[in-house]
A and B are shown apart, each in its own frame.
Chain A
Amino acid sequence: MKNGTNPYIPYPATVEETWYETGGDRCIKTFKVVFDDEKVRKEWSHLPGQCAMIGVLGIGESMISISCSPTEGDFLRFSVMRMGKVTQALHQLEVGDKMMVRGPYGNNFPVDDWQGKKILTIGGGVGQAPLRPIVEYVKANRDEYEGLTMIYGARTSGDLCFKGEFEEMSKCDDLACHLTIDVEEEGWGHNVGFVPQMLLDLNPSPENTIVITCGPPIMIRFVLENLKKLGFEDEQIYTTLENRMKCGIGKCGRCNAGNMYVCKDGPVFSYAVLKEIPEAFA
């Protein structure tokens, strides 16, 4: 076997920047990494929605969604919640340390098909990570889309990811950024309440709109319900799934939801497809 033909081989990437998005037990840390090998850097191409296997040699790998848009530059960003052994090891990485990356894996949001449409993202908590590339992608290709509305909520302001980026966004006319937290906090200048309710309050028109939602299952359930109330069709709604994965390339078997392998047929699914898969929301 020669290097380059084996999809299981990860490539070293150097951590260039890291910061914590949220605190607590299950804190989220964002890494900006750049492949060491220029060739790998050049050959790498991903689109919003895709994932990569990242990890540390000797510990293991985890499938993490790429939380930056290719339009942002020659680097990758991952926002990782500290959960198990691998993410714990990832969290220990500091600037200058090496992360092993392979991918990109999975399908992407059909950004080309969506040209000329309005984009609405609805995120909750760490669920904003896979949505961020879409936001950035649309921001970078503003002419091709009819505008972008972002709804993002979390339990507290401390649980919101990418906080620093929202202010800049709200300055743009064709970008709307709506933030919400579950309970009132001092100094919080935005909405208070749950995401599904905020969606109803904003009352977006389904016309020529694509909705992408990602977040905790309970939020998704009510968001879907409310989208239906607002008249959205299944085909207009997209979400991403997460399942336990090992190989990332549709061999190891465990990420299937019904007859779909999340790592290959997903993680992006339209609701029209997803509702036919009995296991999808299990």
Chain B
Amino acid sequence: MKMDLEQLRKTAAEVVARDDVKYLVGWKQGTYGYRVAPGFVEDAAGAAELIFSPLCTANLATYLTLVEELPIPRGQEPDDRKVAVMVKGCDSRAVTQLIVEKGIKKDEVVVIGCPCPGVVDPNLLAEKYPETEDQVEMKWNGEGFLLLRGGEETKIARDEVLAEKCRLCRYPNPVYSDIMLGDPVEPWETDEDKGVEEVEGKDVEERAEYWAEQFDKCVRCYSCRNVCPLCYCQDCVLDRLNPTWVNRAVNFSENTAFNIARAFHLGGRCIECGECERVCPANIPLGKINRKLAREVRDKYGFEPGVDPDAEPFQASFKPDDPEEFIL
């Protein structure tokens, strides 16, 4: 991996120094352990804190649409400066899809692309190499990873801790960016989607049971929705009470409805960054649902979201020969 932190920080500093840039969102060292936090950088000092490492799982494209729209007092001009964001391959698809959906405009953002050899699953990592209170550094190291902690270097094989989404990643290099950092990485052979296949292998009752157990755990914190770069409605229908799609009550019935609705709204839009699954405090394998739908859309409709900024949105278009074998 040729990612050079010097270069990254220098580029970031240059970008935030621009008059037309409000701030830059990148990754920075978290407060302890393996944590990496989103960093909002406005100056060179901030830029010097940025990192890019196998621990940078978060999809920062979320922050492009997360900012609340506040009333602007009369006579005051809105701040139209751009927001710069650092993206991995998967994250860049979110940016692309947002452009397709007018969630953002190309000229509202500066996209800094970071070719990504794959990030770690922090849970897996912590399981095998217990997390401690000290801040650690991690690096890509040839085929694997290098963990630097307390002056000690630990080599970790790639397969041992690689995040599931990365195992299945087909776009390690950003598909859309204004500035590209480093050299592109060589895409790798992707595994079968074992998670999805395992569920598919069950019969319908087993599946119902499996998901019943999963959705029963849901606490409806909405972190899956909020972290999703493509869930950017200011006013989510699933929050609304008139009409009520989903009751506020937290129980298996409403949780399932919530999860189905959430997944459906991402149909043909999910770019498989895996954030929903990562942030779920109940450990619901949301990625399986999203990936399943994404795969169906890819296989049956030949559509892949977030790769072409000029594409017609999947759910707002059709082909005369869309599959219809299910129709009576």
Contact = CB atoms under 8 A, between A and B. Distances in A.
B316 interface: no
A85 to B, nearest CB: 5
A240 B242 CA distance: 29
Interface in B234-250: 241-242
B70 to A, nearest CB: 12
Nearest to B241: A85
Interface residues on A, range: under 10
A85 B240 CA distance: 11
Interface in A75-89: 84-85
A13 B241 CA distance: 26
Contacts of A84: 242
Contacts of B242: 84-85
Contacts of A85: 241-242
Contacts of B241: 85
B53 to A, nearest CB: 39
Interface string A69-101: 000000000000000110000000000000000
A85 B248 CA distance: 15
Nearest to B242: A85
A57 to B, nearest CB: 16
Contacts, number: 3
Nearest to A88: B242
A84 B240 CA distance: 12
A227 B241 CA distance: 42
Interface string B218-261: 00000000000000000000000110000000000000000000
A212 to B, nearest CB: 29
B242 to A, nearest CB: 5
A48 to B, nearest CB: 33
A61 B241 CA distance: 14
A85 B241 CA distance: 8
A241 to B, nearest CB: 20
Interface string A31-43: 0000000000000
B93 to A, nearest CB: 38
A84 B241 CA distance: 10
A84 B242 CA distance: 9
A34 to B, nearest CB: 30
A178 to B, nearest CB: 29
A114 to B, nearest CB: 37
A61 to B, nearest CB: 13
Interface string B58-78: 000000000000000000000
Nearest to A85: B242
A216 to B, nearest CB: 15
A85 B243 CA distance: 10
A82 to B, nearest CB: 14
B77 to A, nearest CB: 22
A85 B242 CA distance: 7
A197 B242 CA distance: 41
A60 to B, nearest CB: 9
B247 to A, nearest CB: 13
Nearest to A84: B242
B63 to A, nearest CB: 24
B250 to A, nearest CB: 16
Nearest to B244: A85
A252 to B, nearest CB: 13
A27 B313 CA distance: 42
Interface string B184-198: 000000000000000
Interface in A109-137: none
Nearest to A60: B241
A56 to B, nearest CB: 14
A27 B81 CA distance: 41
A186 B242 CA distance: 41
B327 to A, nearest CB: 38
A156 B131 CA distance: 66
A221 to B, nearest CB: 13
B243 to A, nearest CB: 10
A152 to B, nearest CB: 27
A199 B254 CA distance: 54
A79 B241 CA distance: 24
Interface in B241-285: 241-242
A159 B242 CA distance: 28
A207 to B, nearest CB: 37
A127 B242 CA distance: 27
Would you list the 3 A-B pairs with minimal beta carbon distance, nearest first?
A85-B242, A85-B241, A84-B242
Interface of B: 241-242
3 contacts: A84-B242, A85-B241, A85-B242
